[in-house]
Structure 1
Amino acid sequence: MNSSADPGTTRERDEVRVSRLRVCAIFAVNGLFIGVWAGLLPSLRDHFRTDARGIAVLLMVAGICAVIAMQIAGRWADRRGAKKITLAAVPIMAIGMCAVAAAPSYGVLVAAAAVFGVGNGMMDVAMNAVGVHVEARHKRPTMSLFHAFFSIGALAGAGIVLGSAVLTGGLRTVIVVSSLASVVIAVAGTMAVAKRLPQSQVTTASMSGPRRIPAAAWLLGVIALCFGMTEGTAMDWSSIHVTDVTNVSPGIGALGVVCVSGAMIIVRLLGDPLCARFGRTAIVRGGAIVAAAGFTVTVISDDLPVVLAAWLVVGLGVGIINPQIYAVAGHLGGGRTLAVVVGFGYTAFLIGPAIIGSLIAVVGIQNAMMLPIGLAVVVLILALWMPTAGPAKGGQRKRDVHGREQHAPISR
Structure 2
Amino acid sequence: MDLLQSQGLLRRVRGTSPSMSSRTAAAAVFLLFATNGALIGGVGGTLPALRERLDVSASGLSLLLFCLAAAAVVSMQVGGRLADKIGARPVALVTLSVLAAGVGLLAITSSLPWAIVAMVLAGLGNGAMDVAMNSLGVEVEQSRPRPIMSRFHAFWSLGNLTAAGTIVLIARLLDRTGGANVGPALETLCVVGIIAIAVAFRIVPDGRRIEHKPDGVRTAIPRLAWALGLMAFCFGLAEGTAVDWSSVHVTDVAKIDPSTGALGLVCVSGCMVIIRLLGDRAVARVGRRAVVRVGAVTAIAGYFITVLTDPLPLLLIGWALVGLGLGLVAPQVYAVAGHVGGGRMLAIVVTFGYAAFLVGPAMIGQLVEHFGVQHAMILPLVLSGCLVAVSPALPRDD
The answer (yes or no) to whether the contact 1:161–1:174 under 8 Å persists in 2 is no
Give 5+ residue unaligned stretches, structure 2.
1-17
2:193 is the alignment partner of 1:186:
yes
2:148 is the alignment partner of 1:137:
no
Counterpart residue type for residue 248 of structure 1: I
Counterpart residue type for residue 369 of structure 1: M
Say which is worse superposed, 115-124 or 157-166, in terms of deviation: 157-166
Q: Following TM superposition, by how much is the alpha carbon of 1:174 offset from its aligned partner in structure 2, in angstroms? A: 3.6
2:322 is the alignment partner of 1:314:
yes
Q: Deviations over 1:356-409 (max 9, x none)?
A: 110111111111111111101111010012234xxx4xxx5xxxxxxxxxxxxx
Q: Following TM superposition, by how much is the alpha carbon of 1:192 offset from its aligned partner in structure 2, in angstroms? A: 1.6
Change (3 A) 1:206 1:71: closer
Query: 1:289 — aligned with what?
Result: 297
2:53 is the alignment partner of 1:53:
no
Query: 1:71 — aligned with what?
Result: 77
Q: Which of 140, 151, 162 is the equivalent residue of 2:157?
A: 151
The answer (yes or no) to whether the contact 2:37–2:157 under 8 Å persists in 1 is yes
Q: How many residues align?
A: 379
Q: Deviations over 1:286-333 (max 9, x none)?
A: 111000100000011110111111101110011110000000000010
The answer (yes or no) to whether the contact 2:49–2:180 under 8 Å persists in 1 is no
Query: 1:357 — aligned with what?
Result: 365
Q: Distance in 2 between matches of 1:22 and 1:130?
A: 9
Counterpart residue type for residue 195 of structure 2: A
Q: Distance in 1 between matches of 2:212 and 2:28?
A: 30
Q: Distance in 1 between matches of 2:334 and 2:49?
A: 33
Q: Distance in 1 between matches of 2:243 and 2:110?
A: 30
Identity rate, percent: 44
RMSD (Å) for aligned C-alpha atoms: 1.6
Summarize the alignment of residues 329-408 of structure 1 with structure 2, pairs less than 5 Å apart. 329-388=337-396, 392=397
Q: Distance in 2 between matches of 1:189 and 1:82?
A: 17
Q: Distance in 1 between matches of 2:181 and 2:208?
A: 41
Query: 1:199 — aligned with what?
Result: 206
Counterpart residue type for residue 110 of structure 2: P
Q: Following TM superposition, by how much is the alpha carbon of 1:199 offset from its aligned partner in structure 2, in angstroms? A: 2.4
Q: Following TM superposition, by how much is the alpha carbon of 1:208 offset from its aligned partner in structure 2, in angstroms? A: 6.2
2:84 is the alignment partner of 1:90:
no
Counterpart residue type for residue 285 of structure 1: R
Q: Following TM superposition, by how much is the alpha carbon of 1:49 offset from its aligned partner in structure 2, in angstroms? A: 1.8
Change (3 A) 1:204 1:163: same
Q: Which consecutive segments of 4 or more residues in structure 1 shift more than 6 A?
A: 170-173
Aligned with 2:182: secondary structure?
A: helix
Q: Which of 16, 39, 58 is the equivalent residue of 2:22?
A: 16
Q: Following TM superposition, by how much is the alpha carbon of 1:16 offset from its aligned partner in structure 2, in angstroms? A: 2.4
Aligned with 1:302: secondary structure?
A: coil
Aligned with 1:329: secondary structure?
A: helix
Counterpart residue type for residue 32 of structure 1: A
